[in-house]
Structure formats: structure tokens, C-alpha cells
């Protein structure tokens, strides 16, 4: 799960993660009392931020330093902000996101649970506010994925990072989109008759997939059986062995193939992308099938690129060799 503090720090080009503080909702803001902020000349310029160093903190805390004059920030909104981060020991800039586009932070339960001090502070602020946040080094290090040790000596509540953010705007969080559904047999046949589905041809014992030209990707999961098998029927939790090749609908480029590795892959249908689970369930061993999978049933819509995975609609040729 992406941590809220990591999202805040992304704008500041830092590797900071959520501390998960369970202290007071706004924390002990006394260490932030020396912070002074002078905005930059425009929205893309870094502010001038000063504070007493070293800044010492016993718990995660957040405070509005400069009050905004815009609308109240509310629950279930996306907050757009820019931020800059400083080394709490000497006040040096550790990273800034002011030159880039604003980062979006949803005021949801995940944010409220992971970073209550910042959440409660923002809930009492307005658009245009400048907010400062600090977390003790011991808390920050205890929750980093790398498992790093605190930079301060044991027992010393030395702060690690001071993050200053400006709330640029807010917008209501749009309702979640309905997940894509599996198309029925009649719908698949209609698309196939219209030449709107990918085709496959075996070349040198490897599948070659062709994406139809000038056609939009189907608005749902397509299960197009090329050859029906006669073996055991797969369930949503079956362990299977399969050969496959995957390409992107966008450009037809291959991104993965067990055929290139020279051996079938073994996996459980309850441990793969939703499009595979839904698409292979009910098929018999020996079946060859073309799966056209919308992005939300593949590797996600916004998350795929960040994870280094292919985004958008994907097309797979799958040969279900064995259902165990």
C-alpha cells in the first residue's frame, strides 16, 4: 500500500514514508513555532523557509503556518498541493516539488489512519494555506521499507525531516468507476464478426498476435476461445500450467511470453490479475484462448506505469496446458 507520507514527499523528491503516528490528532506543534515562510515570486518558485535548528520533536506534528483565504478543506476531497522538504538538523533543502505540477492527496480513511496529525490540521485549514509537518527520526526509521536505523542517538527525539506544503486547490473525489465486466458470448461474436478483436497465428511454434487497425479496445473483458480443450475444468482457485504471450492493445508490442522462455508457467488462478482469473475460470485443460483485458482488470490504470508494468488494455494468447 502506498504510504501517505511517501506521497507528500514525492513532490519534494524524498524517500520518506508514513510514520503511522497514533499521538494527538495535530501532535505537539511547539517545535514548529519557529518556522517562518515567505512565498516565492510565483507558483513555481520555492518559498523561503527558516526555523531554529536543530529542530527537535517528540511526536509527529503539523501546523498551519500561514492561513489561506480560499474555501474550507473538507473530507472526501482531493487536495492539490506543492511541497518542499528540509533537513531538520541544519535546515538544508532536501528536495522541492514547486517547479512541477501539484500532487494530489485524497482526504480518505487511509490518509486519516496513517497520518492523523496532518489530516486533522488540513481539515481545519483553507485553500491557500501553508502547512508545516515534522516527524521524529525514530518514528520515521521504524516504518521505512528499508528498515534503516534512526539517525539520531537512541533516546534523542531528533527530527528527521520538515515538510512544508502549500494547498493549491481542492476538488471533490469523483465516484469510483464500475469495474469492467466480462462480455457475453453474443457480444464477443458481434465484435469478432466486425473484425474488432485481435487475431493470432502460430509462427515457428510461437503465437503472433495482430491488433485490429482503427478499432477501439472493447469495453469489457473478452474471452475468445480459439480451440476448446477436453480436459479438467478450471475454477477460480485452480492451480494451472499455461503457455502465453501478452501484447499491448495500444501498439501491439509484446511485453511477456512464456514461449520465449521455452517452458510453461505454473500459477494459481487466485494469484493473478483479475482478467486472467475471470477469463480462464470455466475453461477446460487444452483450451487455447484470446483474452482482451481492460486496464482495470489487468495491472491497473494509474498504478501500472509506476510499477513498471504495461498499462491500458492488454491482449493475451493463452494455451491452458494443464489444470491440476
Does residue 229 or residue 304 have the better pLDDT?
229
Residue 147 lies in a domain: no
* Distance of alpha carbon 121 from alpha carbon 25, whole angstroms: 8
- Considering the domain architecture, whether residues 45 and 118 belong to the same structural domain is answered as yes
37-64 average pLDDT score: 93
* Distance of alpha carbon 86 from alpha carbon 14, whole angstroms: 10
Tens of pLDDT, residues 208-254? 999 999 999 999 999 999 999 999 999 999 999 999 999 999 999 99
84-88 average pLDDT score: 91
- Considering the domain architecture, whether residues 137 and 236 belong to the same structural domain is answered as no
Q: What nine digits make up the cell of 110?
A: 487511509
Residue 152 lies in a domain: no
- Considering the domain architecture, whether residues 168 and 131 belong to the same structural domain is answered as yes
- Considering the domain architecture, whether residues 202 and 311 belong to the same structural domain is answered as yes
* Distance of alpha carbon 100 from alpha carbon 83, whole angstroms: 10
Q: What nine digits make up the cell of 144?
A: 521505512
Residue 128 lies in a domain: yes
Cβ neighbour number for residue 260 with a 10 Å cutoff: 9
Residue 12 lies in a domain: no
Does residue 159 or residue 246 have the better pLDDT?
246
Q: What angle do CA 145, 77, 98 make, to 5 degrees?
A: 60
131-155 average pLDDT score: 53
- Considering the domain architecture, whether residues 257 and 163 belong to the same structural domain is answered as no
Q: Look up the domain containing 111 and give its range.
A: 30-141+157-172
Number of domains into which the chain is organized = 2
% of the chain exceeding 70 in pLDDT: 83
177-202 average pLDDT score: 95
- Considering the domain architecture, whether residues 165 and 225 belong to the same structural domain is answered as no
Residue 25 lies in a domain: no
Q: Specify the residue for cell string 469523483.
A: 174
- CATH of residue 68's domain is 3.10.50.40
pLDDT recorded at residue 36? 96
Does residue 178 or residue 35 have the better pLDDT?
35
- Considering the domain architecture, whether residues 130 and 236 belong to the same structural domain is answered as no
- Considering the domain architecture, whether residues 285 and 165 belong to the same structural domain is answered as no
Residue 111 lies in a domain: yes
pLDDT recorded at residue 161? 84
pLDDT recorded at residue 19? 35
Residue 286 lies in a domain: yes
Q: How confident is the model at residue 183 (pLDDT cuts 50, 70, 90)?
A: very high
pLDDT recorded at residue 49? 96
6-14 average pLDDT score: 44
Q: How confident is the model at residue 40 (pLDDT cuts 50, 70, 90)?
A: very high
Name the pTM for this structure.
0.53
pLDDT higher than 60, residue 154: no
Which of 149, 172, 195 corresponds to the end of one domain? 172
Q: Specify the residue for cell string 501517505.
A: 4
Residue 149 lies in a domain: no
Tens of pLDDT, residues 99-137? 988 988 888 888 888 889 999 999 999 999 999 999 776
Q: How confident is the model at residue 158 (pLDDT cuts 50, 70, 90)?
A: low
* Distance of alpha carbon 173 from alpha carbon 96, whole angstroms: 26
Tens of pLDDT, residues 266-286? 999 999 999 999 999 999 999
* Distance of alpha carbon 288 from alpha carbon 201, whole angstroms: 12
Using CB atoms within 10 Å of the CB of residue 205, give its burial: 0 to 12 exposed, 13 to 18 middle, 19+ buried. exposed
- Considering the domain architecture, whether residues 67 and 163 belong to the same structural domain is answered as yes
- Considering the domain architecture, whether residues 39 and 165 belong to the same structural domain is answered as yes
Q: What nine digits make up the cell of 210?
A: 495482430
- Considering the domain architecture, whether residues 261 and 315 belong to the same structural domain is answered as yes
**Nearest in space to 84 (alpha carbons), one of 8, 135, 3:** 8
**Nearest in space to 291 (alpha carbons), one of 259, 252, 244:** 244
pLDDT recorded at residue 111? 86
Amino acid at each position: 500500500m502506498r504510504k501517505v507520507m511517501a506521497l507528500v514527499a514525492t513532490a519534494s523528491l524524498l524517500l520518506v514514508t508514513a510514520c503511522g503516528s497514533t499521538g494527538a490528532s495535530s501532535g505537539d506543534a511547539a517545535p514548529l513555532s519557529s518556522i517562518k515562510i515567505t512565498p516565492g515570486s510565483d507558483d513555481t518558485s520555492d518559498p523561503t523557509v527558516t526555523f531554529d535548528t536543530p529542530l527537535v520533536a517528540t511526536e509527529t506534528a503539523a501546523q498551519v503556518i500561514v492561513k489561506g483565504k480560499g474555501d474550507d478543506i473538507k473530507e472526501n476531497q482531493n487536495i492539490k498541493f506543492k511541497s518542499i522538504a528540509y533537513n531538520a538538523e541544519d535546515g538544508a533543502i532536501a528536495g522541492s516539488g514547486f517547479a512541477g505540477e501539484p500532487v494530489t492527496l485524497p482526504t480518505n480513511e487511509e490518509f486519516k489512519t496513517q497520518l492523523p496529525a496532518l489530516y486533522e490540521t488540513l481539515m481545519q485549514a483553507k485553500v491557500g494555506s501553508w502547512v508545516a509537518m515534522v516527524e521524529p527520526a525514530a518514528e520515521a526509521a521504524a516504518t521505512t521499507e528499508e528498515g534503516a536505523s534512526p539517525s539520531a542517538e537512541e533516546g534523542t527525539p531528533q527530527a528527521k525531516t520538515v515538510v512544508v506544503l502549500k494547498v493549491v486547490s481542492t476538488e471533490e473525489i469523483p465516484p469510483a468507476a464500475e469495474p469492467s465486466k466480462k462480455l457475453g458470448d453474443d457480444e464477443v461474436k458481434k465484435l469478432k464478426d466486425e473484425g474488432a478483436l485481435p487475431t493470432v497465428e502460430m509462427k515457428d511454434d510461437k503465437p503472433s498476435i495482430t491488433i485490429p487497425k482503427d478499432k477501439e479496445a472493447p469495453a469489457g473483458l473478452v474471452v475468445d476461445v480459439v480451440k476448446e480443450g477436453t480436459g479438467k475444468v478450471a475454477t477460480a482457485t485452480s492451480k494451472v500450467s499455461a503457455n502465453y504471450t501478452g501484447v499491448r492493445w495500444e501498439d501491439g508490442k509484446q511485453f511477456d511470453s512464456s514461449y520465449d522462455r521455452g517452458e510453461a508457467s505454473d500459477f494459481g488462478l487466485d494469484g493473478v490479475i483479475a482478467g486472467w482469473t475471470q477469463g480462464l475460470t470455466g475453461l477446460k485443460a487444452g483450451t487455447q484462448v484470446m483474452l482482451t483485458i481492460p486496464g482495470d482488470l489487468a495491472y491497473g490504470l494509474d498504478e501500472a506505469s509506476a510499477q513498471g508494468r504495461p498499462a491500458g488494455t492488454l491482449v493475451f494468447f493463452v494455451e491452458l496446458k494443464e489444470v491440476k
